[in-house]
Amino acid sequence: MALGAGGPLGVALVALALLAFSGLGAWLAGGRSERGSVWLGAGGAVAACGLGLLASVRALWVSGECLLSAPWRIPYGEFQVGLDPLSSFFLIPLFLLSGVVAVYSVGYFRPWPGRNPGRFWLFYNWLVACMGLVILARNGVLFLVAWEAMALASFFLVVYDWQEAEVGPAGWLYLVATHLGTAFLIALFVWLGRESGAQDFARYAAPAGMAGWVFLLGLIGFGTKAGLYPLHVWLPVAHPAAPSPVSAVMSGMMIKTGVYGIARLLVLLGDVPAWCAWLVLLTGAATGVLGILFALAQRDLKRMLAYSSVENVGIITLGLGLGLLGVATGAPRLAVLGFAGALLHVLNHAVFKGLLFLGAGAVLHATGLRNIEMLGGALKRMPWTGAAFLAGAAAICGLPPFNGFVGEFLIYAGAIRGIVGSGAGVVGGVVAVGSLALMGGLALACFTKAFGIVFLGEPRSGMAAMATEVGASMRYAMAALAGFCLLLGLALPLGLRWLEPVVGQLSGGAAAPPGRAEEVLIPMALFGLLALLPVVAGALAQVRRRLLAERVQRESATWDCGYAAPSASMQYTATGFVQPLTEAASGILRPRVESELPAGIYPAGGAFRSETPDAARQLFFDPLFRRAARRMGQLRWLQQGRVHWYVFYIVLALVALLAWAVWT
C-alpha cells in the first residue's frame, strides 16, 4: 500500500524539523533565559517525539512504503527519505525513549549551575533528529551525512562535562572510534554506488559474488557503532563520561542505529552467503558472553551498564545470525523466530537500558557516586528510583513478566527449532542456546550485584547515606519507562502480528509470518498466562495476611548474629559478591590484582585492589595504535613548518593528478 507524502512520513519529517528548530531555539534563548531555554528545548523534544511516535506506529500499522525525494545540490546526493516497516519499527523506540529522557533531563540538569542549558538541548535534539534521519534516509550520501552529524552531536554530548579530567580522553576515544567505523561505511557505500552507478538505496545492487565482502564492510562499520566485540572499546569509556540522560539515549538508541544499519544492509543486499550468517551468529555469541563477563567485573555502575549494553547487542546480533542461518539453509521458521526475537530485543533493550541508565543517573545525582562499592541502602532513601531500577534489572535479566523475556524467548524458540531440525541449524542452535543461557545466568548475577549492593543493605559512605529521592520529572520519567517494561512484556506477545512486515523484509519475504508459526502460538498462550502473575501475587499476599491476622506482628532490624556493633564495611562488597564468577573467568578478564592479605592471628591490616581493564583494548587496540603512532612519527620530517614546502607538496599532488588524468 502506498502512502502519500502527507501521511506518516510527512509527520515524521515535521517531527525531525521541530527537533532541529527547537534545539536551535533553546540554544539561542539560553543566553537570556534559562527557563525559556529549557521549556523550548524539552517542550520541542517531547512534542516532536510524541508526533514521531504516532507517525511511526501508524506507519507500522498500515505497513506501507513511501518515498519522498527532493533535489539536493550535492554530487551523487539526493534528499531522499522513505518510510517502510523496518524504518517505522526502529523509529518507535527512538521517539519513545528520547521523549521520556527529555522529561528526565529537565530535572537532571536543574539548576543548570552557571551554564547555558541551551547547549545541552541543542545537541540533544539534534542527536535525536539525526538518528531519525539516519533511519529515514534512502540515499547513501544523505545517510552518511546524517550518520556523521549524529556522531558529532553525540560527541558534543559526551564531552558535556568537559571540565572533568576523564571526559576529554573519553570523548577523543569515542570520536576516533566512530570515525574509524565511518571510514568503513564510506568504503561500503562507494562500493555499492560504483556497482549501481547511483547512491539511491533503491538502485543499489551487490557486486556479483561479492555480497559477503560488502556485508563484512558494513558489519565492521555498523558494528563499531553497535558495539560488537572487539569494536566495543569506546562504549565502556564514553558512557560513564557522558551525562546520564545522554548515556541512556546513546546506549538505548544510538547503538541501535548500528543494528539498523546491519538490518538495512541485509534488506539492500537481499541474499548473503552462509558464512556471513555464521560470522554474525558467532560474533553475537562472543559479544554477548564477553560483554556480560566484563560487566560482572566492573565497579563503576555506568561502566557496568555499558558493558551490559555490549551483551545485549550481542543477543540482538545472535538473533540476526540465527535468522540469517535460517534464510541460508532454507529453514523459514528459524529465520522468522531469529529475526523477530532480534527486533523485539531492540525495542525492549531501548526501554530497559534507558531506564537503568536513568536510574544510575538518579543515584549519581543524589549521591555524586558511580562507584558501586561506596553505595548502599539507596532503596530506603530513594524508593521510586529503587523500584524502577528493580523493574529494569528484572527486565534485562529476561525475567517474566517484563519485556526482556519476550525477545529472548523468541530467540530461544528459534534456536530450539534449529536444534530439532537438521543440518547447519543444529550447530547454530546449540551455539545460540548455550551462549544465551550463559549470558542469562551471568546477567542475573550481574544485576543482583548491582541492585543488591547499591539499593539494599546500609550505605557504605557518608555521601550514600545523605541521598534523597530525586525530583518529580526524573521520577515520572523512570516510572514511565518501568511501566513500559511491564506493559511491553504483557502486550508484545499479542502484537507479534505487527512484526510480520518487518520480518518479511529481513527474510526476503520467503518466510512464514511469525504470528502463524505454532512455535510462537504456544508461548503466546504462556505469555497470556503471565498477565495473571500480578493476580497470583495479590492472591498470595492476601493469603499471607489472612494467615497472619490472628498472630502478633512486629517489625525490627534484621538479625545481626548477636554482634553489637555492626558496620557498613562488614557487608558484602560488589567485588566480593561476584568473586567466584570473576575468579573462574580470570583467564578472560585478566584482572590486575594487588593484595596484601592479613597475616597472623591478630592481623594489623590488609589491602586489596583490583581493576579489570578492557582486554580487547589492552591486547589489541593499544599496541596497534602505539605502533601506528610510531610509524606515523617517522613521517614527521614532512612537517617542515615552512609554507614553501607545504605548497610544494600541493603542487606535487596536483601535477601527479594532472599526469594521471592526461596519461590514462
| Residues near another protein (CB under 8 A), total | 18
| Complex with another protein: residue 194 or 644, whichever CB lies closer | 644
Rule CB under 8 A: say whether 548 interacts with another protein: no
For the CB of residue 166, give the shortest distance to another protein in the complex, in Å.
Answer: 24
Dihedral sign for Cα atoms in the order 116, 120, 121, 123: positive
Say whether residue 556 binds another protein (CB under 8 A).
Answer: no
Question: Would you say 121 and 37 are in contact if contact means Cβ atoms under 8 Å apart?
Answer: yes
**74 near another protein (CB under 8 A):** no
For the CB of residue 650, give the shortest distance to another protein in the complex, in Å: 7
Nearest approach, Cβ of 636 to another protein (angstroms)? 5
Task: Give least dist CB 648 to another protein, A.
Answer: 5
* Contact stretch for another protein (CB under 8 A) within 484-492, 500-508, 568-576, 643-651: 643-651
Among residues 546 and 644, whose Cβ is nearest to another protein? 644
Strand partners, 65: 2
Among the listed residues 17, 202, 540, 658, the single contact to another protein using CB under 8 A: 658
CB atoms within 10 A of CB 634: 8
Q: Which CB sits closer to another protein, 553 or 664?
A: 664
Q: Which of 540, 651, 653, 657 binds another protein (CB under 8 A)?
A: 651
The runs of H, that is alpha helices, within 456-471 are: 462-465
In the bound state with another protein, the residue whose beta carbon lies nearer, of 73 and 551, is: 73
Cβ proximity to another protein: between 597 and 661 the closer is: 661
In this complex, which beta carbon is closest to another protein, that of residue 17 or of residue 657? 657
Check binding of 662 to another protein (CB under 8 A).
yes
In whole angstroms, what is the distance from residue 336 CA to residue 201 CA? 24
| Nearer to another protein (CB atom), residue 535 or residue 629 | 629
Is 659 a binding residue for another protein by CB under 8 A? The answer is: yes
Determine the Cα–Cα distance for residues 443 and 611; give it in Å rounded to an integer. 20
Spatial separation of the C-alpha atoms in residues 327 and 506, rounded to whole Å: 9
Cβ nearer to another protein, comparing 373 with 622: 622
Identify which of 496, 501, 499, 497 has the alpha carbon closest to the alpha carbon of residue 63: 501
Q: Establish if 661 lies at the interface with another protein (CB under 8 A).
A: yes
- In whole angstroms, the minimum distance from the beta carbon of 646 to another protein comes to 9
In 3D space, the residue among 216, 406, 239 whose CA is nearest the CA of residue 310 turns out to be: 239
Residue 643 Cβ vs another protein, minimum distance, rounded to whole Å? 5
- Eight-class DSSP state of 470: P
User: Which residue intervals of 31-139 are DSSP H helices?
Assistant: 34-62, 85-108, 118-136
* Helix, strand, or coil (residue 196): helix
Binding range to another protein, per CB under 8 A, among 126-134, 251-259, 614-622, 639-647:
639-647
- Alpha helices for 332-491 (secondary structure H): 332-367, 378-381, 383-396, 404-420, 424-455, 462-465, 472-491
Task: Give a three-class secondary structure readout of 440-457.
Answer: HHHHHHHHHHHHHHHHCC
**The one among 647, 653, 656, 657 contacting another protein by CB under 8 A:** 647
Q: How far is the CB of 639 from another protein (least distance, A)?
A: 6
Which stretch in 93-101, 179-187, 466-474, 647-655 sits in contact with another protein by CB under 8 A? 647-655
For residues 5 and 658, which CB has a smaller minimum distance to another protein in the complex? 658
Residues between 226 and 245 with contacts to another protein, criterion CB under 8 A: none
> Which positions ≥6 away from 566 have C-beta within 8 Å?
560
| 59 in Cβ contact with 479 (< 8 Å) | no
Does position 650 bind another protein by CB under 8 A? yes
In contact, 377 and 457? CB cutoff 8 Å:
yes
79-110 burial by CB neighbour count: b if 16+ within 10 A, else e?
Answer: bbbbbbbbbbbbbbbbbbbbbbbbbbbbbbbe
Which of 93, 56, 46 has its CA nearest to residue 477? 46
Site stretch for another protein (CB under 8 A), options 97-105, 373-381, 520-528, 649-657: 649-657
Q: Are 312 and 232 in contact (CB under 8 A)?
A: no
Distances (CA, A) of 381 to 32, 355, 365: 37, 19, 13
Nearer to another protein, 545 or 642 (CB): 642
> Residue 644 Cβ, how far from another protein at the closest point, in Å?
5
Q: How far apart are CA 588 and CA 228, in angstroms?
A: 17
As measured in angstroms, the least distance from the Cβ of 656 to another protein is 12
Alpha-carbon span 297 to 587, nearest angstrom: 13
Does 643 engage in binding with another protein (CB under 8 A)? Answer: yes
C-alpha–C-alpha distance, residues 277 and 212, integer Å: 10
Among residues 642, 653, 656, 657, the one that binds another protein under rule CB under 8 A: 642
640 binds another protein (CB under 8 A): yes
Q: What is the DSSP letter of 513?
A: P
If the CB atoms of residues 607 and 662 are measured against another protein, the closer one turns out to be 662
1 binding another protein? (CB under 8 A)? no
Sole binder of another protein in the list 636, 656, 657, 660 (CB under 8 A): 636
The DSSP code for 594 is: E
Give the residue with the Cβ less far from another protein, 546 or 636.
Answer: 636
Which amino acid, residue 469?
E
Burial 429-468 (b: 16+ CB within 10 A, else e): bebbbebbeebbebbbbbbebbbbbbbbbebbbeebbebe
Nearer to another protein, 557 or 643 (CB): 643
Stretch near another protein under the rule CB under 8 A, chosen from 489-497, 564-572, 620-628, 652-660: 652-660
Query: Is residue 644 involved in binding another protein (CB under 8 A)?
Result: yes
Stretch that binds another protein, among 31-39, 328-336, 573-581, 655-663 (CB under 8 A): 655-663
Task: By CB under 8 A, tell whether 551 contacts another protein.
Answer: no
Shortest spacing between CB 627 and another protein, in angstroms:
14
Q: Is 73 in the site for another protein (CB under 8 A)?
A: no
HSE value, Cβ hemisphere, 13 Å, CA-based, for 207: 14
Residues that bind another protein (CB under 8 A): 633, 636, 639-644, 647-648, 650-651, 654, 658-659, 661-663
